[in-house]
Structure 1
């Protein structure tokens, strides 16, 4: 409780200091009839009494508990007000808010982990989803290499909310695309043909599970698929020569949209 000793005749500034509330708040409470000073000086200035100060202290306590000003006025001025009931209702709201904040905290933890680790899956889950050839060190390597890019941030945001089952769906979609690429190459599908261009667009759609992929960025990926030993071994392991054929259909698809593959950049 506030010290109300010799409290009669306190100015709004003195009350503001004692209770730790702003002068503006005190003026507002005065205007709406929530807490009006009981005394006036000869010059007409309002002064607070010890009783006023006690009422103000209760207002501050109830406000800190989250009650709105209308509800506080009802609690203070209605003799029949169910004060314990009002406080229990407020406690229930606080409990709900705490639960929401805890959920938010858990979501933030996942987002932080996703930005730092990439995949929020155990090594065993990664092997189950992506296959025995998957290296669980790859996400950490990607983080070191691409962690300061906008695409890594987009990837992490998707990863933070993705379950193992959703990752399995992504892996299945990519595996289905790679089978279709191999079958198309075997069938003699020519770069620039409608079927090849559909596969190029399908690749962009599937890859968007990681981050949005522009056509220029796709051209850059196509180069990497052919030139990088790891990527080339992966695609050529599906079909000999698939890495080069895949790069060629990506380049042809880019040309159909006015993009010169020789000058395309990561943008």
Structure 2
């Protein structure tokens, strides 16, 4: 039985305006139309909407979702398995963060002081101060390092949690493209690189395309960075470097 746009909006918990927008950008076009010209959604349309909402919840931009769903090689089962894995990882992290918040609340209510280890154990292997001495020695006189040091000196634990979460979302998007076999030069893949460049600019220092290219080179030239990035997926460091390079070259041509 076909559903109207208002029925689908209520069912999916989205606005009618959102569904109209999805239609306009060719992300989700309903299969049918009534005699009066109103949109009518079939089961396959609802299935596609479910995919859109899953990817959107995972932080994928609409342009990227459109490209994924239009890919002739798109496999629904593979997409669902990937989404389940990403959501499971997020759930595990959220559970750990809730535990950390509870511990902080308990410490506050009891008037006790949390140790450094207790405060930052939620980050796991992530340590904001890691390589700080080396970075100061190598780049201490650069404006980028000074700006990064100025900003990060004011960051709270909540800020670092957000920084880590945003960075992980971006890397998961790159992993998804790598697993799908997409070339680093594909527009949707380079858009992820642009998101990463904006992320560096937002949290650390103004990151030009040239600096971003150099960051990619660091990922493959420093074994420590390579090993850390490749934990998510073998070959991810090289792929990330190639995507950053492709994005920088695209920018130089525009």
Q: TM-score, normalised by structure 1?
A: 0.47
Larger Rg: 1
